[in-house]
Amino acid sequence: MSQVASLLSNPDSVLSREGVKASILGYETLFAGARNNVGKTSTADSIEHRAKEYQTMVSSFYDLVTDFYEWGWGQSFHFAPRLVGETFEESMVRAEYYLALRTNIQPDSKVLDLGCGVGGPMRNIHQFTGADITGITINEYQVRVGNQYCAQRGFDHKCRSFQGDFQNLSEKFEPDSFDAAYAIEATCHSPDRRVCFQQVSRCLKKGALFAAYDWVVLPERGYDSNNPDHVRIKEGIEVGNGLPTLATTQDIVNALEDSGFEVVDVFDANKDVHSDHQIPWYSTLYGSFTLKGFRMTRLGRICTHTLVSTLEFFRIAPQGSTRVSSMLNATALDLVEAGRKEIFTPSLLFVARKK
């Protein structure tokens, strides 16, 4: 109980106790009608509204959920393909190391991490390669926490985070500054990937590689924008993850090619999600009843949610904490359903070279 209470009262938080409720209510207005009126948040006007409010939406989202993510997931906020016999943690690190290999990161490389969160992958990739890595996140709280973690590991001379917008990297970095760039489930927050990818291209040296895992719906695997059930699931994922709208594989390829990149490779890293040799990427959200993994399971989330509700009732937790917990629980169910139907992946991998 004390762990959950401290989670909800982090002294480094940029939100006051009173600010949590206002922030979640403001965030919810950007997704008005979600889960109650299928298709409402997929209209052009709704998507455009979120795109215009992108900075506020994403920063507010991570103000609210960063501590919940760390509590349930650790310092790396992403999914990963997982082999039978592999632990959750091993699969996460393997996915991160794979990006390092695909972008040819070397000990003397200067690397850009887009949407770095609290820096879990950044520190793992530095430990693996020895490279100098700079992370950028729109969220001030994640910068504070992430840089503390770098210092605690003794990596702060090689790893650091800055607050900034990956839609406007030119504010922070000179042209041709980096030898490689990567993003892990981050550019799905972009209101316009062409702008984002153009900014990445500007920062990279000629011939440098950019690789990422991205969230997409999968028309090639059966996603149908005219199927209300598919739209319901898609919108649930968007509202629970601070996304303007989910793209397709072709949308991403087009954006890369329009931004000065040659697409070297693109595929769904979860293409064999239901193979006998893999554990589905979404399984952690409903199974894995180990002592360490329990908090990530559906029952574990229900227990956490009940405790959060109790703490909020007694004014130990900030008002609004229960609404945040409810939102995350609902979107976990959407992710599981999307994964089972294979109409969505959080792990579309692309590798692109700056021309």
Residue 209 CA to residue 198 CA, distance in Å, equals 14
Q: Do residues 349 and 332 lie in contact, with contact meaning Cβ atoms separated by under 8 Å?
A: no
Residues 6+ apart with CB under 8 A from 292: none
Give the residue among 343, 350, 333, 322 at the shortest CA–CA distance from 21: 322
Q: Do residues 211 and 182 lie in contact, with contact meaning Cβ atoms separated by under 8 Å?
A: yes
DSSP result, 52-63: HTHHHHHHHHHH
Instruction: Give the tens place of pLDDT for each residue, 128-175.
Output: 999 999 999 999 999 999 999 999 999 999 999 999 999 999 999 999
Give the residue among 171, 172, 165, 168 at the shortest CA–CA distance from 138: 165
In this prediction, residue 74 carries a pLDDT of: 86
Q: Do residues 82 and 270 lie in contact, with contact meaning Cβ atoms separated by under 8 Å?
A: no
Tens-digit pLDDT string for the chain (355 aa): 434 444 445 555 544 555 566 667 778 888 888 888 999 999 999 999 899 888 888 887 787 778 777 877 889 999 999 999 999 999 999 999 999 999 999 999 999 999 999 999 999 999 999 999 999 999 999 999 999 999 999 999 999 999 999 999 999 999 999 999 999 999 999 999 999 999 999 999 999 999 999 999 999 999 999 999 999 999 999 998 889 999 999 999 999 999 999 999 999 999 999 999 999 999 988 754 344 444 555 555 556 556 555 545 445 455 556 666 677 788 889 999 999 999 999 999 999 999 9
Number of H helices, E strands in the chain: 12, 9
In this prediction, residue 6 carries a pLDDT of: 45
For residue 107, give the amino acid letter.
Answer: P
Residue 16: DSSP 8-state:
-
Beta strands 344-354 and 261-268 are antiparallel
Residues 6+ apart with CB under 8 A from 234: 42, 217, 223, 246, 338, 343, 344
Residue 318: DSSP 8-state:
P
Instruction: Provide the strand spans (E) within the chain.
Output: 82-83, 110-114, 132-137, 159-163, 178-184, 204-217, 261-268, 278-279, 344-354
**SS3 state at 160:** strand
Beta strands 159-163 and 132-137 are parallel
Tokens of 277: 């040799």
Total number of residues shown for the chain = 355
Residue 118 CA to residue 122 CA, distance in Å, equals 9
